[in-house]
């Protein structure tokens, strides 16, 4: 059909590349030294944008226990019966959010403030900077020059 109009049999299309911004970033204007545990020059604070993903947790069926039937003459009863139960699972998910970070330059760990309120089963609290691209970038770029940053609360 294309040859009828004088077009080549296999029309070539140009590929359009659309740049996608990274979901990971930090605001350099918020970088500051923190005085945690009575020490300056060890801890950084900053605001960063990160993505947290968590896996699905499948529902679990507890089959229960049918128990045992006991009889005494003409009278019988069941002992040890536990009814079946179903514990609901949670779906997988992700969240893009701004967090306030605290980063320990000596231990190379960070705490993402506010992530405990999020659903899902993932590590919270202080964890290695390798677990978060934002924390890793700040540790790499700013821990060697922490003394150049202003002090904050």
Is residue 6 scored above 80 in pLDDT? no
**24: buried, middle or exposed (CB in 10 Å: 19+, 13-18, 0-12)?**
middle
d(CA 49, CA 41): 24
Is residue 82 scored above 90 in pLDDT? yes
Tens-digit pLDDT profile for residues 98-146 = 999 999 999 999 999 877 666 665 667 899 999 999 999 999 999 999 9
Both tokens of 2, joined, read 């294309």
Both tokens of 126, joined, read 């202080």
Three-class SS of 52-85: EEECCECCEEECCECCEEEEECCEEEEECCECCE
Mean pLDDT over residues 22-43, rounded?
Answer: 93
Tens-digit pLDDT profile for residues 8-28 = 656 678 888 988 888 999 999
- SS3 state of residue 84: coil
Strand partners, 78: 69
The pLDDT score that the predictor gives to residue 20 is 87
26: nearest Cα among 114, 132, 131, 108: 132
Tens-digit pLDDT profile for residues 66-80 = 999 999 989 999 999
Mean pLDDT over residues 79-89, rounded?
Answer: 91
Contact in structure between 132 and 13 (CB atoms under 8 Å)? no
The pLDDT score that the predictor gives to residue 9 is 58
The answer to whether the predicted template modeling score (pTM) of the entire model surpasses 0.75 is: no
Contact in structure between 96 and 48 (CB atoms under 8 Å)? no
Task: Give the Cβ contact number of residue 26 at 10 Å.
Answer: 22
Confidence of residue 39 (pLDDT cuts 50, 70, 90): confident
The pLDDT score that the predictor gives to residue 8 is 60
């Amino acid at each position: 059909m294309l040859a009828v109009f004088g077009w080549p049999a296999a029309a070539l299309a140009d590929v359009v590349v659309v740049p996608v911004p990274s979901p990971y970033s930090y605001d350099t204007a918020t970088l500051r030294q923190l005085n945690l545990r009575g020490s300056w020059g060890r801890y950084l604070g900053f605001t960063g944008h990160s993505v947290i993903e968590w896996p699905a947790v499948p529902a679990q069926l507890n089959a229960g226990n049918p128990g045992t039937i006991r009889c005494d003459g003409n009278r019988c009863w069941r002992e040890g019966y536990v009814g079946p139960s179903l514990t609901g699972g949670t779906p997988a998910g992700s969240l893009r959010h701004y967090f306030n970070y605290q980063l320990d330059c000596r231990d190379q760990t960070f705490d993402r403030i506010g992530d405990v309120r999020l659903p899902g089963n993932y590590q919270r609290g202080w964890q290695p900077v390798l677990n978060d691209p934002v924390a890793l970038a700040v540790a790499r770029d700013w821990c060697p020059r922490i003394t150049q940053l202003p002090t904050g609360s």
